[in-house]
Amino acid sequence: MVTTPVTSITFEEYLTYDDGTGFHYELVDGRLELMNPPIIEHFLISKFLEQSLDTEIKRLNLPWLCFQKSGVRTGKNKSRLTDLSVVTINQAKELLNTSAVFQSAPLLIVEVVSPDSVKRDYRYKRSEYAALEVPEYWIVDPLTAKITVLLLEEGLYEETVFTGNQQIVSQTFGEIAIAVDLVLNSANLG
């Protein structure tokens, strides 16, 4: 991960920041951190999960939306880019005609681990999402073939790890039936 030459930026400046490169950045303690483009497997897993969650939202007729690569403000001068966020329609309406950075906690955040994001996804985002009170956080880890579901309990995450043909158990999507292998195999093109 490369840090850009900008040394300090506020959250408000971040919302309109454009260096003309088309790169995506997270804001961490007032510093822009360049997010490396994901590998194809990362995109395929994110797309599969987005389609699965969208299908469940539609099936249950929930007033929710699922977004890829939306932002979430996690502190005074912090904003993370999520792989997937599930939010209410009202949360989305608050952002009409503005940058897609949610300032209230999404219902669910999903991060897909890449080799350069292990510490960020398991450690930093975990603590920031808990502080923001995101009720459910999934860490999809194709590197270790597991999905960790974190549920917020009294300000801290309680984790359950799912592997192989185990079905993901979600508090947000109580009826969803997706096996870990199905999620991870969605990255295979052959």
Which among 118, 105, 79, 73 is positioned nearest to 172, based on CA atoms?
105
Question: Is the pLDDT assigned to residue 81 strictly greater than 90?
Answer: yes
The per-residue pLDDT for range 38-63, each reduced to its tens digit, is 888 999 999 999 999 999 999 999 99
Q: How confident is the model at residue 13 (pLDDT cuts 50, 70, 90)?
A: confident
Q: How confident is the model at residue 6 (pLDDT cuts 50, 70, 90)?
A: low
- CB neighbours of residue 18 within 10 Å: 7
Structural domain spans, the chain: 38-185
- C-alpha 148: how far from its chain's center? 13
Sheet containing 31-35, strands listed edge to edge, beginning at the edge strand earlier in sequence: 31-35, 24-28, 78-81, 71-75, 101-102
DSSP character for 135?
S
Superfamily of domain 38-185: tt1808, chain A (3.90.1570.10)
pTM for this prediction = 0.90
- H/E segment holding residue 137: strand 136-141
Structure-block tokens of residue 135: 């009720």
User: Percentage of the chain with pLDDT > 90?
Assistant: 70
Higher pLDDT, 180 or 96: 180
User: What's the confidence (pLDDT) of residue 5?
Assistant: 54
Question: Is the pLDDT assigned to residue 96 strictly greater than 90?
Answer: no
User: What's the confidence (pLDDT) of residue 20?
Assistant: 86
- CB neighbours of residue 130 within 10 Å: 18
Region 126-137: mean pLDDT is: 96
Phi, psi of 108 (to 5 degrees): -155, 140
